């Protein structure tokens, strides 16, 4: 063998295709190449044949190889199933309240947090293998905001009372799952890097187009969820501010202490000569009784038209708690009667009501015939027209509006840009934006064509026919609808003692909004009270 060999001979001894690099090991020969200046510092992982190294795209390179990652996924699936069961229970409680699941306020916030939690866990499962820094940042933000929500709900006495254990459990579970998302994403990132280093030689920094698409979708989804949580927080802050509005009357527990009804009375039971006079019991129509009749009633007392009045907020209106579902007119009247008895108010009564509130007054009158000294109905709703209230379309809109009501899409702009105050939101012109009010309207719609209609028909049969009756109708409403005029005429036959049927020309459905309408109502009330 020659002592010196030519470069040509050396190159010929190398295997073909190495391009001057160190010879590739032949697994069959088991020889180890001697490294030189041409040896790669890092192995070629794509074409490497070294045992133990895989291509980055190999399906075997997966964080699921780690038992801890598999355990996290199984736990996430279990949490998702638990949340789904809870979500279904809250959905059912909107229509029929299961024992122990009811809230004294509306169910919308508890349902909203449950919906958010379910979406959060589903997105966590969907993008489990694709950890993202943007998702972790948003998860930290969301956790902080939900923590603030929990503090506000549990620290403010009114919100704590209205949400009950159902709302508290929902917001706490939402907080825990938001933290869980953060833990899962960070742990999967660690597990993914760990397996890549073990199986491919180093942690992979590149992503496929599909993975980048998943990152983008997950980031957009969590950004939307972050905005939703932030809006819910603003709405809860408004609720906390509204809790500072004191109620004029007192709250009385009803239905074995399950919830409370607000009752307020003002004035004297006797006139200046000491004669006993009946108390006017006002019942609102489509809005709160405070917004409809409170100012009118105070003026009537000052003018001497009436001596004393009372009103009781129906469940979900004003300061009253929401009742369990379903809630018909007969059920509401029973709770109002219980609250009035708790307040020591037993009449005698002059019942003044408007719109759909006349249905409740008629049921109340039929059940307290001996204590009723007169009925005054302002543009009342006939029981034959309750089908409009109970229409499926209206019910779905109310349900949908209730579901999104925690976002405060109307309350927040109203407070910031339109100067709506807490009183406006509790019982004033913006009360219809309140979640309790929306839920009460939904409950009213669900049974209007069945239970409530039956209650109204029954009350007509057992109504004392000697009770003095006054009907005041909207001239505009009668002019626009022949059916409405026909039904108003029928309501004048509720008793055989019709005193007056007045049609106020040009007055809208809320007749008292016009001067002539207010004067007419006050005049007829004075005649009934001093009869």
Looking at residue 206, its pLDDT comes to: 66
Indicate the average pLDDT of the chain.
Answer: 88
Residue range 255-296, pLDDT digits in tens: 999 999 999 999 998 877 778 899 999 999 999 999 999 999
Looking at residue 59, its pLDDT comes to: 64
Contact predicate 17/44, CB 8 Å: no
Q: Of all helices (H) and strands (E), which one includes residue 311?
A: strand 308-312
Looking at residue 20, its pLDDT comes to: 42
DSSP 185-218: HHHHHHHHHHHHHHHHSS------HHHHHHHHHH
305 alpha-carbon distance from chain centroid = 42
Instruction: Specify the pairing of strand 498-504 against strand 469-474.
Output: parallel
Residue 48: pLDDT band with limits 50, 70, 90: very low
Of 229 and 15, the structure prediction assigns the larger pLDDT to 229
Q: Is the pLDDT of residue 409 over 70?
A: yes
Q: Please state the rounded mean pLDDT for residues 308-337.
A: 95
Looking at residue 373, its pLDDT comes to: 95
Q: Is the pLDDT of residue 9 over 60?
A: no
Sorted by where each starts, the structural domains of the chain and their CATH numbers stand as: 63-242 (no CATH), 252-385+450-529 (3.40.50.1820)
Residue 56: pLDDT band with limits 50, 70, 90: low
Q: Is the pLDDT of residue 200 over 80?
A: no
Q: Is the pLDDT of residue 437 over 90?
A: yes
Q: Of all helices (H) and strands (E), which one includes residue 389?
A: helix 386-389
Looking at residue 464, its pLDDT comes to: 93
Supply the angle between the helices 392-404 and 108-126 in degrees, to the nearest 10.
70
Lowest mean pLDDT among 40-54, 75-89, 301-315, 394-408: 40-54
Residue 13: pLDDT band with limits 50, 70, 90: very low
Residue 32: pLDDT band with limits 50, 70, 90: low
Looking at residue 463, its pLDDT comes to: 94
Of 426 and 195, the structure prediction assigns the larger pLDDT to 426
CA dist 333 and 289 (Å) reads 15
DSSP 477-500: HHHH-HHHHHHHHHHTTSSS-EEE
Q: Please state the rounded mean pLDDT for residues 220-230.
A: 96
Looking at residue 352, its pLDDT comes to: 97
| Strand partners for 500 | 470
Of 196 and 128, the structure prediction assigns the larger pLDDT to 128
Q: Please state the rounded mean pLDDT for residues 492-507.
A: 94
Count the helices and strands in the chain (H runs, E runs): 19, 8
Looking at residue 41, its pLDDT comes to: 66
Residue 248: pLDDT band with limits 50, 70, 90: very high
Reduced to 3 states (helix: H, G, I; strand: E, B; else coil), residue 168 is helix
């Amino acid at each position: 063998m020659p002592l010196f060999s030519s470069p040509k001979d050396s190159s010929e001894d190398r295997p073909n295709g190495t391009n001057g690099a160190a010879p590739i090991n032949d697994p069959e020969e088991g020889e180890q190449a001697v490294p030189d200046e041409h040896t790669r510092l890092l192995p070629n992982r794509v074409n490497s044949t070294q045992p133990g190294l895989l291509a980055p795209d190999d399906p075997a390179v997966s964080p699921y190889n780690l038992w801890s990652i598999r355990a996290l996924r199984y736990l996430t699936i279990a949490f998702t199933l638990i949340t789904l069961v809870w979500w279904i229970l809250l959905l059912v409680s909107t229509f029929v309240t299961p024992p122990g699941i009811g809230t004294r306020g509306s169910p919308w916030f508890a349902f909203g947090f449950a919906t958010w939690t379910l979406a959060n866990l589903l997105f966590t499962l969907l993008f489990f293998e694709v950890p993202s820094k943007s998702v972790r940042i948003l998860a930290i933000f969301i956790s902080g905001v939900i923590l603030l929500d929990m503090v506000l709900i549990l620290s403010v006495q009114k919100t704590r009372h209205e949400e009950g254990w159902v709302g508290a459990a929902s917001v706490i579970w939402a907080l825990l799952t938001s933290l869980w998302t953060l833990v899962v994403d960070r742990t999967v990132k660690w597990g993914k890097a760990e397996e890549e280093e073990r199986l491919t030689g180093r942690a992979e920094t590149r992503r496929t187009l599909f993975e980048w698409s998943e990152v983008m979708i997950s980031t957009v989804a969590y950004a939307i969820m972050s905005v939703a949580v932030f809006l819910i927080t603003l709405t809860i802050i408004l609720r906390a501010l509204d809790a500072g509005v004191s109620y004029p009357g007192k709250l009385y527990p009803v239905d074995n202490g399950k919830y409370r009804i607000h009752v307020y009375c003002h004035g004297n039971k006797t006139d200046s000569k000491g004669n006993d006079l009946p108390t006017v019991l006002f019942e609102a129509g489509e809005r709160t009784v405070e917004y409809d009749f409170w100012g009118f009633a105070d003026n009537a007392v000052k003018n001497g038209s009436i001596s004393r009045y009372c009103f009781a907020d129906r469940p979900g209106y004003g300061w009253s708690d929401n009742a369990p579902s379903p809630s018909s007119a007969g059920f509401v009247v029973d709770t109002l009667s219980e609250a009035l008895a708790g307040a020591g108010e037993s009449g005698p009564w002059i019942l003044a009501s408007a719109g759909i509130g006349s249905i409740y007054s008629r049921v109340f009158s039929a059940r307290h015939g001996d204590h009723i000294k007169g009925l005054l109905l302002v543009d009342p709703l006939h029981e034959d027209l309750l089908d409009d209230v109970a229409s499926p379309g209206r019910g779905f809109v109310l349900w949908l509006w209730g579901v999104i009501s925690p976002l405060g899409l109307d309350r927040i702009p109203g407070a910031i840009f339109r100067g709506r105050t807490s009183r406006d939101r509790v019982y004033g012109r913006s009360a219809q934006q309140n979640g309790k009010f929306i839920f009460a309207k939904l409950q009213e719609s669900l049974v209007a064509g069945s239970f409530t209609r039956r209650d109204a028909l029954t009350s007509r049969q057992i109504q004392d026919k000697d009770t003095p009756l006054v009907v005041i109708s909207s001239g505009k409403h009668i002019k626009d609808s022949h059916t409405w005029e026909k039904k108003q005429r029928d309501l004048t036959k509720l008793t055989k003692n019709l005193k007056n049927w007045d049609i106020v020309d040009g007055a809208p459905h809320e007749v008292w909004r016009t001067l002539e309408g207010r004067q007419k109502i006050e005049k007829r009330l004075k005649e009934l009270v001093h009869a």
